[in-house]
Amino acid sequence: MSGPHDDLADRLEAIVGDLDERSFTLLREAASMRAGRPVEDKRLTQARRSIEKAVHLLRGIGTASGDDAFDAFDSAD
């Protein structure tokens, strides 16, 4: 069953993939230089989590448990 906003959720999931690629690149570069975790990676991770929350919320719209879908994230933070 598809929801009314699955197209937006799909696009956001693609952005999550792009953020993952950038994050992995940063981490590989840091590892090759024997450096610690780059500060920029933390920001990318925060952005990724925010977008994942949006995807989850969009996928829940139009379902009986749509309002409860986001509550799980609120309690996890």
pLDDT over 90 (residue 76): no
- In the prediction, which pLDDT does 74 show? 57
Within the chain, where are the H helices?
6-32, 39-60, 66-76
Q: Among 26, 53, 54, which Cα is nearest to 42's? A: 26
User: What integer pLDDT is reported at residue 71 of this predicted model?
Assistant: 57
Residue 77 predicted with pLDDT over 70: no
State the pLDDT at residue 3: 85
Residue 33: CB atoms within 10 A of its CB come to: 9
pTM of the model: 0.74
Query: Going by C-beta distance under 8 Å and a sequence separation of 6 or more, which residues neighbour residue 15?
Result: 51
Residue pLDDT, tens place only, 24-69: 999 999 999 999 999 999 999 999 999 999 999 999 986 665 555 5
